[in-house]
Chain A
Amino acid sequence: MTALQRTLTVVLLNLTLAASLTAADDRVQFNRDVRPILSDHCFACHGFDQKKREAGLRLDVAEGAYADLDGHRAVVPERLDDSELWRRVISDDFDEVMPPEDFGKPLSSEQKDVLKRWIEQGAEYQQHWSFVVPQKPDVPDIDGATNPIDAFLQKRLQAEGLTASELADRTTLIRRVTLDLTGLPPTIAEVDAFLADKSSDAYGKLVERLQERVTYGEHMARYWLDLARYADTHGLHLDNERSMWPYRDWVVRAINDNLPFDEFTRWQLAGDLLHEPTRDQLVASGFNRCNVSTSEGGSIAEEWIYRYAVDRTTTAIEVWMGLTAGCAVCHDHKFDPLSMHDYYSMYAFFHSAADPAMDGNKIDTPPILKLTRPEDEQRLKELDQKIAIVESRITELVTAYEYTDPTTQSPQPTEQTIETVWFEDGFPASTNPEATGAPLKIVSKPDGQVFSGNSAISRTASNAIGQDFYHGGAEFTVPKNGRLFAWCYLDPNDTPDTIMLQFHVGGWNRRVVWGNVDRIPWGKPDTPEKFHMGELPAVGEWVRLEIDPTKLNLKAGTKIGGYAFTQFGGTVNWDRLGVVTTTNPTTDPAWSFAVWKQQNQGKRNNDLPEGLRQLVRGKQADQWTPEEADRVFHFWLKTFYGGLRDEIGLLEAEKTPFDREKSDIEKAAPITMVMADLPQSRESFVMLSGAYNRPGGKVARGVPAFLPQLAAKPADRDYNRLDLADWLVSGQHPLTARVTVNRIWQQFFGTGLVKTSWDFGSQGESPSHPELLDWLATQLVDDGWDMKKFVRRIVTSHAYRQSSRVTPELLERDPENRLLARGPRYRLDAEVLRDQALFVSGLLVPTVGGKGVKPYQPPNIWEPVGFGNSNTRYYKQDSGDALYRRSLYTFLKRTAPPPFMASFDAPNREQSCARRGRSNTPLQALQLMNDIQHVEAAREFASRILKEGGESAEERIRWGWRVVTSRQPVAEELAVVKRTLDRYHDRYAADADAAAQLIAYGESRADSELAPAELAAYTLVANLLLNLDEAVSRN
């Protein structure tokens, strides 16, 4: 056969199929037969778009086609000769013929014939099929077809004179369905159990088991995340990290919990608008925050507010309505009745989103939700209780305190010295004292030197630094005019070289030192870090050491969170540390409430909490109610009063660790971006030519006129996204259910019943099985949008379970398998290929959820493209478990996606994607053969083969083959692999270095029990098995 003959054959065969797909009876149907022709060849100039309409003629509606235009009527039903359209179509006059030659889309003779017959038969118009609410058709009565899906399919097959294939064998079937439902292959044990289960519902039970696995949701979620354009970076310019993964994990959970699709829709489009939304509902609303965003310097805010709203609108229309709304951004849709006004009415639902035009290059562009873990929630509750207990003790202390204002005392007190003790007999009870050197030693009279109270510290440090200290658990405040003091006793028989006191103010950074200044090396000399006080004090007696706090840069009000008694060498006893201050209580606001009131009256005091601040500032003290006066007074006692400060300080210090833990938990809580609207809606306009700065007519929130209308508008508010969501899932929407079932169908059969799963408009393809599509759509609604049930319906059908074997005749008849006379067969997705390799090797770490991980990636994927300041410029590969997580959890940087995803057609999530391609390229081959993660997986798989596969080479090959394909190899296959294995055995036995290199590839270590040459040989065999066409495809 020559090339030309072959071409002709192919073309002819294709024509046969095209004819057979449109098929059966003679009567022309507008939607099926005529609309595609008009849409493709005429609507661009004679369609819905007013602006581009030529000669005032529109052919998309009957009124337009029948209209009398200057004595001509384009279409006169049943009267071919009077129909101007026909005259123009068959004209051979260059100026008259339609479509015009320069339009470049001439009609074929078949198409002309369709138009001719249509006019002759009455030129009936139908509304476009997908805009008509589906009515549930009767299920055809077909012998043996228990699943309605098969009844519809077989009716068609019978009409075509074809038959469905026999069921696939059970090993093929379990591999197919396990991969399709969980994204992972079955284990040998699972295959054996299934083969052994002879019960009639063995398959049904298998499906149910698979749907119960958490891996079900992980796998199914991927498809939705393609639609939602989920990723871990903002996507534009710097392309910095964003925290959105709780949304990804919610999708997995929602699918596993089988959240009905109507709820799934409401939560995502309007979770934030639900009544008292749950955390999950808010997380789900992040669907509308998955769009790309920018923070590029110089950007103009209105432009980006506009673009984000356009992205959200277009995405919602594509995902739920299967319409390509993008055209109507700039002009009325040429082919579908979607006007700009319709588009911008829907856009108005999204145009008031509260997120900013500039994402700030932040991980947490508002609005966000912080998600604490359930176990942390419990802990937070406990902490709140503990904090509350301490606070109630403070309140008790304050309310029970008998206070007399010094100004009211008689006689009035004069200036007095007030000593506050921080250490006496021991460290504060709430602290955990620590020591350098021997453990803390407390001596009491009469065994040792004590200055006051019952006991003192005694420490001996022989020729080394020794110290006793605490940090945390108690906090002291430096008072005004205060002087620090401490008492020490130096042993005359064992004098230290140096003594030191240290104070903790956010760190150990305040020190005073006596004696040899160099002995203790900490701190910069002559600064508050190390202030030299002079020679050692007298030995053999108690000496009071006094320190001016200003030398240590300690100001009134500074909080001291710890102190240390430190020495170098010798024996030192320490006792009674504190602060002394001189004040006149009758004029000091820390002692007299009357004075404080007087000083603060009418002023803004930022130390006061909201509420009290306004009260003190805005209302004369003598006008306070008794209750108000009490609140101010108690707050003063608690916060400012010198007589309680240290007692309360101790209590506050008890609280400090709880406060700190609470804030740590809150800081560690994952963040997810959520949807919210501005309190005041933006006005929305039709944007002329889709330009952000060319507003046209104002629009109100609404839906296209050619679709069912929204529910009645609530009296007290405008329509919102929840109304839009409700409208989509009302069950009366002609598109939502059809689009949804079609996409799932596409997932399991490779192609949708409507092949253009992203376009249900008139430019899209008509369904191959319209009645089946309508039956599935209406049934989904009847089933309460139960998605697991719907999936079961598909995978239990004969159509799904039949063999994918194709004969050349059938391939020619139906190359795309639209009639489903055979089972679906296609290459596995990017994620499944990687997960499968990890799974069979035993490397897969099945942890569910969490922040995106960074597995193996070749150098220079991010770096050559990343912006200088981007926080995703440098790829820092993770190690350990994170290398082996399911691909769903791989960190997705949109401007430089992971090669294992990009090479296998995974979208980069810059925009919504309803269907991935399935390319077949040499780069894929290189990756599966040579990528470190595949080679490492092959080695670990080889280890398993050696350890679990049996003793002989043959047993081992059989075992490995089964793990990958689920089936036994035939003798010839076995022989090919054995021959290859033998070759590699020889090769690596002769080259120990090569063997060592190969098995050392990857972060995990090869099993050292195994002989390197043998492991290396099996590694390449495992690599071969994982590259089999059968391994990378699902049959």
Chain B
Amino acid sequence: MHLTRPDLAIIQNWIQPKSRVLDLGCGSGELLDFLQQKKQVYGYGLEIDDQKITECIAKGVNVIEQNLDAGLSNFKDQSYDVVVMTQALQAMKRPDLMLEEMLRVGKECIVTFPNFAYWRCRFYLAIKGEMPVSKSLPHTWYNTPNIHLSTFRDFEQLCKSRNLQIIDRAVGNSEHESHWATQLWPNLFGEVAIYRVTR
């Protein structure tokens, strides 16, 4: 089996075998399914989409219906090795509080989100004068769940202001543009920001 999403392929490398993982907004359970089978990882996915919950159950991925905006108060402090949130931080009401909550429950957290400073976004906005619509940001401004778009630089500033330590940073591009420029200037050439953070 292999992971179809490039951000998932990168972050699975950061997760140790047999760790306890909480996957927030786990979708159809692709990451947990992979980790369970390849790394004997043990964990739960939280999701609110009906269809995706059923898909998780069908795969044998533990999934719990839970609205993430209501917090994680039902999970104890430091009860997971890693708390993962892929492509969902930008849809939270308060991404900053979510990040704090993830690091309360987990020893470390991994987040991925679309980089709004990606050159295509900048180009779209600059030339068209409209909010960017792309493969990784397919919605129009009025119906998008992505209410808190940010950039590599924004996220690093948030971490700094909260005294959070960035252990790893990677760039995920939907078209697999692995270019030296992406590594050098992720904020301009990185489509998806991927971070591993601890306190």
- Bound pair: A and B? no
